[in-house]
């Protein structure tokens, strides 16, 4: 187990904006940072990071928390994994006791699969670098490809021996379970009980997540066996989904965010050769057709993609189909093709860095120009083919979400193709209308499905159930508002006013007002204590108790920190704290001529209103309980007297609230 002192050091050192910045492209928004949600498909920012509070909130998915919570949500780390990741990032040495066999057995399945994958990567690389077979076959292959020793180590390249079960025997000897060797795909378990290494006799390319965890492998065969696939990937598993990962993303993410552009290639060696040539903002789809999930990975880091294609014309025609998917995600696409017979690997290998950069800059074309040039060569002077390619181009343009951008591309397409802009606009309108109709049809189908589900509303409930439902919701709202004020302004000190009745020496009643300085959390605590109020919502009560008795009681002069409360309440605390930050995502304040008035500017009025509102609601609830005790043809005088006295009190509270409160139940 990791010691508490080490965990505290990690929390004190880690900066949430730096941790999330490795995964999401963040931009300044006032005192906060904003970006696209890494948890959902979106085209406008709904993800907010607060460096001051060291918390984040994703308004599209409702997720939030501190740096550890982000790693657990985004990378699916366990709590200890997240701590270890941060310790490694910030060079913190962790104090921890050695894991027992029992601890290893209790590790969850995913973690066991990660551990097997990480062991495999070390084993394959050690075999490559430190065995005769690895040096003679694997290492010599990589050197022939032009990879340096540093590059081989950087990408964790390795070699799997030709022997049938060399890796499996080694893993089992190190106490890794056959169950996880099978589930990760390293070992094939035959019906006769024999174990066979899936990747035997192949050079190995580890595939890593954005955080650097090994998810799976690609293995290239080096022999002349025509029956065997040239490349073999790890099978789909709980930790490896090939449609959701990009090769090289771990090594490329910082360069992509910094340069605000991503080069997209097809193969492992293309990526490695480009990185070695100094073009580190390069990733690959690993030979699979490009998927929306892969595009969204890039979208978290940049809006700009440059797709690099081989010089093979037939391959070009097939590959550009993926461009429509990129356009649908609202991204900017450029395309760059290499000379005939060249691919990114071969071209980067023989081209000096400066010349390579110049070539990419000079030959990267807007997708519409590139597609027009490619398809025009195919159409030649055939009017039917030309009409088809024009429609093909307009179809691509119709995928772009931004209307202005669509119009600009239509103008450019009309110029290139020498055709009326009006005709293209009409065709575009038809395609967009069809997309809208299809979306509407899909929505109606979903609504029809939802209509089949049971519906519950207040009108179906008996009157007493309706009232109880409204009462609970009403108290939830005010309790939530009180906890919200504690979270954001509990440490703030201000001047509050108290009113009370005092009798002078002649016995005349006088209203006395007295002002005194105190902190917001003290004001709330003393009033709730005085009224002997208990929160009805257990979640709000839990957070209230932790804030009052733990956080502010110990550190009243500083603002709330997410680490002040228990881990199980951190998500809820984050959600409350970041709720008011939504308007910053759209730059709302900057667009207004009238400045936004924050609650902190009127905190005294806000807190006192909350306390009065809570008193009114609880008194209203009490009066309702008294009314329910009134029976026909019974002596109700005492109950009626209590109702009247409490009604007088509630009317006074209503006056202080400055608004009329009408009861829903009457005797």
Q: Dmax of the chain from CA atoms?
A: 113
Which one, of 138, 141, 117, lies nearest residue 129 by Cα? 138
**pTM over the 0.75 mark:** no
Q: Are 215 and 117 in contact (CB under 8 A)?
A: yes
CA dihedral of residues 566, 571, 576, 578 (deg, nearest 10): 120
Whether residue 124 has pLDDT greater than 90: yes
Residues 608, 469: one domain? yes
Q: What is the pLDDT of residue 210?
A: 84
Separation of alpha carbons 496 and 29, rounded Å: 33
| Sign of the CA dihedral with 268 first, then 273, 276, and 282 last | negative
- Residue 471, domain member (yes or no): yes
Separation of alpha carbons 111 and 122, rounded Å: 17
Domain endpoint, select from 32, 56, 89: 89
Is the pLDDT higher at 311 or at 185? 185
| Sign of the CA dihedral with 357 first, then 362, 367, and 373 last | negative
Separation of alpha carbons 290 and 326, rounded Å: 9
> How many domains is the chain partitioned into structurally?
4
- Residue 454, domain member (yes or no): no
Residue 46's contacts (CB-CB under 8 Å, 6 or more residues apart) are 36, 37, 40, 58, 59, 60, 585
Q: What is the pLDDT of residue 357?
A: 95
Is the pLDDT higher at 465 or at 101? 101
Q: What is the pLDDT of residue 528?
A: 77
Residues 380, 481: one domain? no
What is the domain extent for residue 498?
A: 465-657
Q: What is the pLDDT of residue 634?
A: 67
Q: What is the pLDDT of residue 459?
A: 35
What is the SS3 assignment for 662?
coil
Q: What is the pLDDT of residue 525?
A: 76
The secondary structure of 324-384 as a DSSP string is HHHHHTT-EEEEEEPPTT--HHHHHHHS-HHHHHHHHHHH-EEHHHHHHHHHHHHHTT-HH
Phi, psi of 64 (to 5 degrees): -175, 175
Average pLDDT of every residue of the chain: 79
Is the pLDDT higher at 496 or at 115? 115
> Residue 583 — pLDDT band, cuts 50, 70, 90?
low
- Placement of tokens 């709904």 in the chain: 46
Separation of alpha carbons 357 and 304, rounded Å: 16
The phi-psi region of residue 37 (left if phi > 0; otherwise alpha if psi is between -120 and 50; otherwise beta) is beta
Q: Exposure string (b/e) for 400-431, b if CB count within 10 Å is 16 or more?
A: beeeeebeebbebbbebbeeeeeebbebbeeb
- Residue 523, domain member (yes or no): yes
Domain with residue 217: its CATH number is 3.90.980.10
Q: DSSP class of residue 75? A: S
Domain endpoint, select from 186, 205, 240: 240
Whether residue 437 has pLDDT greater than 70: no
Q: How many distinct helices (H) and strands (E) make up the chain?
A: 31, 18
Residues 83, 119: one domain? no
> Residue 595 — pLDDT band, cuts 50, 70, 90?
very low
Residues 272, 214: one domain? no
Residues 225, 117: one domain? yes
In the chain, the N- to C-terminal Cα span, in Å, equals 63
Q: What's the average model confidence in pLDDT over 612-638?
A: 74
> Residue 111 — pLDDT band, cuts 50, 70, 90?
confident
Residues 189, 271: one domain? no
Whether residue 350 has pLDDT greater than 90: yes
Separation of alpha carbons 447 and 281, rounded Å: 43
- Residue 453, domain member (yes or no): no
| Sign of the CA dihedral with 236 first, then 239, 243, and 246 last | negative
Residues 377, 255: one domain? yes
Q: What is the pLDDT of residue 470?
A: 41
Whether residue 396 has pLDDT greater than 80: yes
Domain with residue 284: its CATH number is 3.40.1360.10
Q: What's the average model confidence in pLDDT over 292-309?
A: 89
Residues 644, 551: one domain? yes
Q: What is the Rg, in whole angstroms, of the alpha carbon atoms belonging to the chain?
A: 33
Residues 189, 274: one domain? no
Q: Which parts of 234-302 are beta strand (E)?
A: 262-265, 282-284
Q: Are 251 and 154 in contact (CB under 8 A)?
A: yes
- Residue 287, domain member (yes or no): yes
Domain endpoint, select from 219, 240, 261: 240
Residues 303, 398: one domain? yes
| Sign of the CA dihedral with 609 first, then 612, 616, and 618 last | positive
Residues 182, 278: one domain? no
% of the chain with per-residue pLDDT over 70: 76
Residues 426, 506: one domain? no
Token representation of residue 174: 């190190």
- Residue 199, domain member (yes or no): yes
Which one, of 96, 95, 97, 91, lies nearest residue 13 by Cα? 91
Which one, of 628, 666, 631, lies nearest residue 647 by Cα? 666
- Residue 662, domain member (yes or no): no
Q: What's the average model confidence in pLDDT over 540-556?
A: 70
> Residue 660 — pLDDT band, cuts 50, 70, 90?
very low
258 beta partners? none
Strands 214-221 and 231-233 come out as antiparallel
> Residue 493 — pLDDT band, cuts 50, 70, 90?
confident
Token representation of residue 457: 């509303």
- Residue 600, domain member (yes or no): yes
The pLDDT tens digits for 143-169 are: 999 999 999 999 999 999 999 999 999
């Amino acid at each position: 187990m990791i010691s508490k002192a080490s965990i505290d050091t990690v929390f004190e050192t880690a900066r949430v904006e730096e941790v999330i910045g490795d995964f999401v492209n963040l931009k300044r928004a006032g005192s906060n940072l904003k970006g696209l949600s890494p948890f959902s498909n979106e085209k406008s920012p709904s993800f907010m990071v607060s460096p001051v509070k060291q918390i984040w909130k994703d308004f599209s998915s409702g997720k939030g928390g501190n740096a550890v919570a982000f790693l657990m949500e985004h990378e699916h780390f366990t709590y200890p994994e997240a701590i270890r990741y941060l310790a490694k990032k910030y060079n913190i040495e962790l104090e921890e006791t050695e894991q027992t066999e029992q601890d290893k057995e209790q590790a969850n399945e995913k973690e066991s699969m990660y551990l097997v994958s990480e062991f495999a990567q070390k084993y394959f690389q050690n075999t490559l670098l430190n065995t005769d077979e690895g040096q003679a076959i694997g290492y010599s292959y990589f050197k022939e490809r032009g990879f340096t020793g540093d590059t081989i180590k950087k990408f964790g390249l390795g070699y799997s021996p030709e022997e049938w079960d060399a890796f499996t025997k080694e893993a089992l000897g190190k106490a890794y379970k056959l169950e996880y060797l099978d589930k990760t795909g390293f070992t094939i378990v035959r019906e006769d009980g024999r174990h066979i290494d899936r990747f035997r006799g192949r050079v190995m390319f580890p595939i890593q997540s954005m955080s650097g965890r090994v998810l799976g492998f690609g293995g290239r065969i080096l022999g002349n066996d025509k029956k065997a696939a040239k490349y073999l990937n790890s099978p789909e598993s709980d930790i490896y989904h090939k449609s959701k990962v990009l090769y090289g993303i771990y090594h490329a993410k910082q360069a992509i965010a910094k340069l605000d552009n991503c080069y997209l290639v097809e193969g492992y060696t293309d990526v490695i050769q480009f990185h070695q040539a100094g073009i580190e903002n390069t990733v690959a789809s690993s030979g699979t057709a490009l998927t929306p999930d892969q595009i969204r990975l890039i979208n978290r880091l940049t809006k700009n993609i440059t797709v690099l294609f081989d010089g093979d014309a037939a391959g070009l025609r097939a590959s550009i189909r993926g461009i429509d998917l990129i356009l649908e995600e609202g991204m900017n696409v450029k395309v760059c093709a290499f000379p005939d017979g060249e691919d990114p690997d071969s071209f980067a290998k023989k081209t000096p860095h400066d010349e390579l950069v110049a070539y990419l800059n000079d030959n990267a074309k807007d997708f519409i120009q590139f597609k027009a040039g490619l398809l025009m060569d195919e159409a030649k002077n055939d009017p039917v083919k030309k009409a088809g390619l024009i429609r093909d181009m307009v179809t691509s343009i119709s995928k772009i979400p931004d209307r202005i951008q669509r119009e600009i591309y239509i103008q450019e397409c009309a110029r290139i193709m020498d055709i009326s802009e009006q005709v293209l606009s009409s065709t575009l309108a038809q395609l967009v209308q069809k997309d809208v109709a299809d979306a509407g049809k899909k929505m109606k189908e979903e609504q029809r499905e939802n209509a089949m589900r049971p519906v519950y509303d207040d009108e179906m409930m008996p009157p007493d159930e309706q009232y109880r439902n409204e009462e609970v919701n009403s108290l939830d709202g005010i309790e939530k508002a009180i906890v919200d004020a504690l979270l954001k302004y509990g440490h703030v000190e201000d001047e509050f006013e108290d009113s009370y009745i005092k009798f002078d020496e002649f016995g005349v009643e006088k209203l006395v007002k007295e002002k005194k300085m105190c902190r917001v959390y003290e004001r709330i605590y003393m009033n709730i204590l005085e009224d002997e109020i208990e929160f009805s919502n257990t979640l709000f009560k839990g957070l209230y108790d932790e804030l009052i008795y733990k956080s502010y009681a110990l550190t009243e002069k500083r603002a709330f920190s997410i680490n002040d409360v228990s881990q199980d309440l951190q998500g809820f605390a984050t959600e409350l704290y970041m709720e008011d930050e939504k308007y910053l995502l759209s730059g709302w304040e900057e667009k207004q001529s009238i400045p936004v008035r924050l609650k902190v500017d009127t905190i005294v009025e806000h807190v006192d209103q909350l306390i009065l509102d809570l008193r009114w609601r609880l008194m209203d609830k009490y009066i309702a309980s008294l009314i329910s005790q009134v029976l026909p043809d019974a002596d109700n005088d005492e109950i009626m007297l209590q109702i009247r006295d409490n009604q007088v009190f509630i009317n006074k509270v209503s006056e202080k609230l400055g608004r009329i409160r009408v009861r829903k139940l009457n005797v």
